[in-house]
């Protein structure tokens, strides 16, 4: 199957691309669409056969559920049941962070096909703020299931060319709206009543909506422990090994952890490229990517992260050496992805 890339920058291009994408979706086909986090592989959420094609194109195991994207709170109520004891905090999170990079795990409505939720009784719901994605949901008039548009376990795509290198000839079209503005997948949370005013907010996957941002709504709980591969998981996609480049990646804790071997070419993924951090001058690197040059700004580092990782993966090095990133703000999400990228499958 030929994969067509449709550029969508001007309002006319957006209109044309959106209506073409909707024709595919209404026929039960799947298409790649931009969101503010990463590109997604979209299917009509209420069409189980279309959703099965998403699993097939990504080679994603059936135990790993999809995120359902909605237009607003009304559409949220078509796919999820909000329990009375967390209705207030869910309302607060929705009004503060939607549309935006926050995904809520809630009890599912029976209308959501089991294939979407991998048989779980919960569904992950997100509301993207990307104008193209919003326009598609609006025109379809129903929720869209969309995981990141990459092969299972691989690096998330933040551009149409990255989607192309992951899924070309497996999907009929990609809408190209340039680079994603966040560059990191949404934060996934589950809210639990605590019996006190503030509920527990469990972060199942760290992302652009940070611990600091969630603190005023609830007591934030982050699971630092990586779940072992294959175990039944609360966030089934949060496997220890994920987001992995093809080139082996080593995440350093400190400069002295780097032990180069004779004849090996090493590429460096640096946070801010500062000699005083002790990593950038350790070795005559084959290639270097700096996430946020100079003083180090976390959101900028997140935007460039998957792009830089993909570039180093293709530079011909034998291994990628990653400098650690401070675990504040979206740095928690970057370190989470680096740990998974470095874990052995």
Chain positions contacting ligand TXA, by CB under 6 A: 35, 37-38, 40, 64-67, 101, 103, 105, 117, 120, 122-124, 126, 146-148, 185-186, 188, 204-205, 234-238
Site membership for Mg ion, residue 186 (CB under 5 A): no
Using CB positions, name the residue nearest to Mg ion: 148
308: which residues sit within 8 A by CB, 6+ positions away? 269, 289, 290, 291
Q: Name which of 234 and 300 has its Cβ closer to ligand TXA.
A: 234
- CB of residue 98 to ligand TXA, shortest distance in Å: 13
Site membership for Mg ion, residue 210 (CB under 5 A): no
DSSP secondary structure string, 43-67?
A: EETT-HHHHHHHHHHHT--TTSPPE
Helix, strand, coil percent content, the chain, rounded in steps of 5: 30, 20, 50
Q: From CA 269, how far away is CA 266, in angstroms rounded?
A: 10
Site membership for Mg ion, residue 29 (CB under 5 A): no
**Binder of residue 188, out of ligand TXA, Mg ion, none (CB less than 5 to 8 A by kind):** ligand TXA
Q: Name which of 14 and 67 has its Cβ closer to ligand TXA.
A: 67
Pick from 199, 198, 222, 216: nearest CA to 95? 216
**Binder of residue 270, out of ligand TXA, Mg ion, none (CB less than 5 to 8 A by kind):** none
For residue 274, the surrounding DSSP H or E stretch is none
Per DSSP, the three-state class of 170 is: coil
Site membership for Mg ion, residue 148 (CB under 5 A): yes
Stretch that binds Mg ion, among 53-61, 145-153, 221-229, 275-283 (CB under 5 A): 145-153
Q: CB–CB of 267/320 below 8 Å? A: yes
Residue that the structure tokens 């990463």 belong to: 38
- CB of residue 29 to ligand TXA, shortest distance in Å: 17
Residue that the structure tokens 């990653």 belong to: 322
Three-point CA angle 318, 321, 324, nearest 5°:
165
Using CB positions, name the residue nearest to ligand TXA: 237
- CB of residue 114 to ligand TXA, shortest distance in Å: 11
**Binder of residue 186, out of ligand TXA, Mg ion, none (CB less than 5 to 8 A by kind):** ligand TXA
- CB of residue 298 to ligand TXA, shortest distance in Å: 17
Q: How far is CA 255 from the centre of its chain?
A: 29
CA dihedral of 339, 170, 44, 68, whole degrees rounded to 10? 0
Q: Name which of 154 and 217 has its Cβ closer to Mg ion.
A: 154
**Binder of residue 127, out of Mg ion, ligand TXA, none (CB less than 5 to 8 A by kind):** none
Residues that bind Mg ion (CB under 5 A): 148
């Amino acid at each position: 199957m030929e994969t067509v890339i449709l550029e969508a920058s001007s309002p006319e291009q957006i209109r044309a691309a959106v209506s073409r994408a909707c024709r595919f979706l209404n026929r039960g086909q799947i298409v790649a669409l931009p969101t503010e986090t990463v590109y997604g592989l979209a299917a009509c959420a209420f069409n189980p056969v279309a959703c099965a094609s998403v699993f097939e194109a990504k080679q994603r195991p059936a135990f790993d559920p999809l995120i359902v994207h909605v237009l607003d709170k009304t559409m949220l109520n078509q796919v999820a049941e909000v329990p009375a004891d967390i209705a207030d905090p869910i309302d607060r999170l929705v009004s503060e962070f939607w549309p935006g990079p926050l995904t809520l795990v809630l009890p599912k409505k029976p209308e959501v096909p089991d294939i979407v939720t991998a048989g779980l009784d919960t569904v992950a719901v997100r509301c993207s703020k990307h104008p193209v994605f919003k326009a598609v949901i609006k025109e379809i008039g129903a929720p869209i299931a969309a995981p990141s548009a990459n092969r299972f376990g691989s690096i998330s795509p933040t551009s149409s060319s990255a989607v192309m290198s992951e899924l070309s000839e497996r999907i009929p079209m990609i809408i190209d709206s340039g680079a994603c503005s966040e560059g990191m997948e949404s934060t996934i949370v589950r809210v639990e009543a605590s019996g006190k005013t503030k509920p527990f907010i469990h972060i199942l996957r760290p992302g652009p909506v940070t611990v600091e941002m969630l603190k005023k709504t609830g007591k934030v709980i982050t699971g630092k422990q990586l779940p072992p591969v294959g175990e039944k998981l609360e966030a089934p996609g949060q496997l220890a090994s994920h987001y992995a480049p093809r080139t082996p990646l080593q995440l350093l804790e400190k400069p002295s952890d780097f032990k180069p071997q004779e004849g090996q070419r090493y590429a460096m993924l640096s946070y801010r490229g500062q000699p005083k951090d002790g990593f950038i001058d350790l070795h005559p690197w084959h290639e270097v990517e700096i996430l946020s040059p100079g003083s180090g700004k976390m959101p900028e580092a997140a935007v460039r992260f998957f792009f830089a990782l993909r570039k180093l993966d293709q530079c011909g090095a034998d291994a990628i050496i990653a400098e650690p990133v401070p675990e504040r703000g979206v740095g928690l999400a970057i370190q989470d992805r680096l740990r998974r990228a470095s874990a052995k499958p």
